[in-house]
Amino acid sequence: MFAAILLLATTMAIFGVLGYLKGPKWAFISLLILSVAFVLVEYRPDTIVLALNGIYTGVMLVLNGGLGALASGDFEAVQEVYSEIDPLFTDQNENLALLLVIFSAVALGLILAAVMKSKPAVFGMIWGLAYGYLLSAAVLPLISSNPAATIPVPLLRPNEREAGAAAAQASSGLNQLFTTLAEPQNVQIIASIIGIFIIVLLLLTVRSGVKSGAKKKG
């Protein structure tokens, strides 16, 4: 779960910055594209798998000479070629098909980012942060079997998924880790580390900043 939070925070930070740099227009259009992909993945996963398998089968049929057999009216040969083609996505790997749709939407957004020109704006960052959140909400349940990784998305994902035995099993290790960390002697050590880190980070940053500023003036 900690990895999920880290992924969520990183994605939001990246797209927040990208949204700021590319402007609100790009960020909003990309968010709309991703929302459509998200709704399709959430509500029509079977249709997506069926469509992608259909496209794959059609392409393989053409590549294996099925189109020639079809043109000559040899339907038995077409049937033979067709029966040799295994579907690309099955129940075991249907999450890959859904990830493909999500990443296609992201790729489309990134292509738009390269094409569109706009000025940096704070509103872009807000849309970008929303984009990062939605992207994490779409991807996390597909790459993690832990139902606890399902992030709430109002309106787009109304039904909360039930936490099952798998979630309990996966989170028990982390629970143990945090319980150990929460012991007083460990907290004391962690607090000391945080304190030293903050002091060193701030004072060194200020000092180096003052030095570089003085050099520039000098």
Partner 1 sequence: MGPVEVVFLVVIAIFGAIGVVRGWQRELGVTTMLLLALFMIEFVLTTAIGTRVESFLSGANVSDAQIVTLQSMAAVGLLLLVTFISYQGLGLVYPGTGKSSFLSLMIGLLNGYLFAGSIWYYLDRANWPLVNVTPEFTSFYKFFVQILPPEIFGWQFFILLAVAMLIIRVIR
The residue ranges that bind partner 1 (CB under 8 A) are: 1-2, 5, 8-10, 12-13, 16-17, 20, 125, 129, 133, 148, 151-152, 174-179, 181-182, 187, 190-191, 194-195, 198-199, 201-203, 205-210, 212-216
C-beta of 24: minimal distance to partner 1 in Å?
14
Judged by beta carbon, residue 37 or residue 125, the one nearer partner 1 is 125
Tell the smallest beta-carbon distance from residue 23 to partner 1 (Å).
Answer: 13
* CA distances, 55 to each of 62, 88, 92, 99, 141 (Å): 11, 10, 19, 17, 25
Least separation in angstroms between CB 78 and partner 1 = 53
116/199 with CB nearer partner 1:
199
Are the CB atoms for 34 and 153 separated by under 8 Å?
no
Q: How far is the CB of 127 from partner 1 (least distance, A)?
A: 13
Which is nearer to partner 1, 43 or 178 (by Cβ)? 178
Measured between alpha carbons, how far is 194 from 199 in angstroms, rounded to an integer? Answer: 9
In single-letter form, the type of residue at position 170 comes to A
Q: Which is nearer to partner 1, 97 or 149 (CB)?
A: 149
Which residue's entry shows tokens 């979630």? 167
Smallest separation (angstroms) from partner 1 to the CB of 145: 16
Whether the CB-CB separation of 110 and 34 falls below 8 Å is answered with no
For 153, list phi and psi in degrees, rounded to 5.
-125, 100
Shortest distance (Å) from residue 117 CB to partner 1: 19
Pick the closer one to partner 1 by CB: 72 or 175.
175
Residue nearer to partner 1 on the CB measure, 72 or 176: 176
Count CA atoms closer than 13 A to 100's CA, side-chain side: 13
Contact 156, 35 (CB under 8 A): yes
Report yes or no: 48 and 101 within 8 Å, Cβ to Cβ: yes
Find where tokens 């077409």 sit: 78
* Alpha carbons 12 and 189: distance in angstroms, whole number: 30
